[in-house]
Amino acid sequence: MSMTVSHRCWAEVDLSALRENLAWIRHRVGPTVKIITVVKADAYGHGLKPIAALLMQSGTDIFGVANLTEAQAIRSVGKGWPILMLGPCLPDEVYAAVRDDVMPTISNLEEAEVFSETGLSMKKRIRVHVKVDTGMGRVGAPTEGAADLVEKIKDSRGLSFEGIYTHFSSVEDDPKLSARQLKIFAGVLDEIPSNNLLVHANNSGGLLFEPQGIFNAVRPGLLVFGIIPPAQRRMSSALRRHVRPALSWKCRVGLVKDIAKGTSLSYGQTFKAPKKMRVATITAGYGDGYLRAGSNRAEVLIGGRRCRVLGRVTMDQMIVDISRVPTARAGDEVVLIGKQRDEEIAAIELAMWFGTVPWEVLTAITYRVPRIYIGGQAS
C-alpha cells in the first residue's frame, strides 16, 4: 500500500490574492501609469519564477530586480519584458547586463561611461535609468550633479536615457521628510526635460501615503504580496482591506506530550514549566527561516487557538504550549503565518515578535520550505 508523504513545513502562495492586489494597485494609479513590480529576493520569498509568470499575465509593465541572477530568472520565464536593475551593477556584470537587455541604474559618470563603451562595442544602445539621491544615502546621483549627469548620458551614443527616479527613506513614518524628498526630486526634474521619460518615486509605502509621488510610474513591492508596510502614519482601515496576504506558512505537530511542573524545555533551559502542561513539538525551526528571536515570545495557531513558543527555537523544531488545545495530535496543521478558523497571525505580527520587519520575515523563509501554489496556474 502506497501513502502520500505530506510536507513537514511549507508555504502556500495564493495566486488569486496576487492578481487582486495588482488589480487594486492598477485601479489606484490609473491606466496610464506604468507599474514596475519589484520582485527582489525570490519575489519576497514567494518564488520568483512562478510569480513572474503570474505577473506577466496580470498586467505588470516592468520588473524591478536587485541583481542579474534575478533578471536572468525572469528572462527564462518570458522574453522581452523590461527589467530594471535597482542596485549598482558590478564591473564584471556589465557585459551580461547589456547582453541580456537589463536596464541598469546609473548613479555617476563612471557607470555611464562603462555602459556606453560596452554598448558601443556590442553595437547596442542601452536603456538606462538615473537614480537621484534625495535622502536615502545608498545609491543615486547627488542632487546638485544629477542634471549634468543626465546631459552627459543624453549626449552618449551608447546610452538611451529612459527614466529617472528616487527612493523614500522613511515614507511610512515621517511625512515631513518624504515631502522634502519629493520637493528636492521635483527641483531636479525642473532642470531636466522629462518628455517620454519614466519618472518614479513611490514604493509600496509611497503608494499608501504620498499620492504626489505617483508621477507616471510606481514601484510596488511588499504591497503586491498583500502586506501593508508597518507605519507610524495613520491609515484608514478601509485601505487595509484592499489587499490581502498571498503567503501562508505552515508546519505540523510532530509530537504531543504532558510535562510536569519544573520541566526545562529546549537549549539553555530558558523555559521551565510553572505547572503541569501539555506541549507539542512542531516541525519548523530556524533552518526553515523561523528566527530564534521568536523564542519564548512568538505564537502559532493549532486547532484555531494561539499557542506560545516555549524555550529556544532550534534548527528543525520548536516546542509550543497546547494546554488549551486538548484535541491536538501528531500530524495536525500548525500555522506560522496565516489564518486558521477565526484566528490569524500576520507577517507583521511575527515580525514584531522577531524584532524586525515583515520584509525580513518573508525573505528569511529558506529554500527547504516548498512553495505550494493555489488559486491559479503558475509555471
Which residues are catalytic, by number?
40, 267
Q: What is the DSSP letter of 88?
A: P
* Burial per residue of 287-303, b for 16 or more beta-carbon CB atoms within 10 angstroms, e otherwise: ebbbbeebbbebbbbbb
3-class SS of residue 125: coil
Cα 128 to Cα 50, 144, 145, 185, 310: the distances in Å are 27, 20, 17, 18, 52
Cα 121 to Cα 98, 117, 311: the distances in Å are 10, 6, 60
Please, what sign has the CA dihedral across residues 127, 132, 138, 144?
positive
Cα 41 to Cα 47, 147, 195, 347, 352: the distances in Å are 9, 32, 33, 16, 21
Among 299, 209, 250, 256, which Cα is nearest to 13's? 250
Cell numbers 515631502 correspond to what residue? 179
Contact 250, 221 (CB under 8 A): no
Question: What is the chain's Cα-based Rg?
Answer: 24
Among 227, 232, 247, 234, which Cα is nearest to 25's? 227
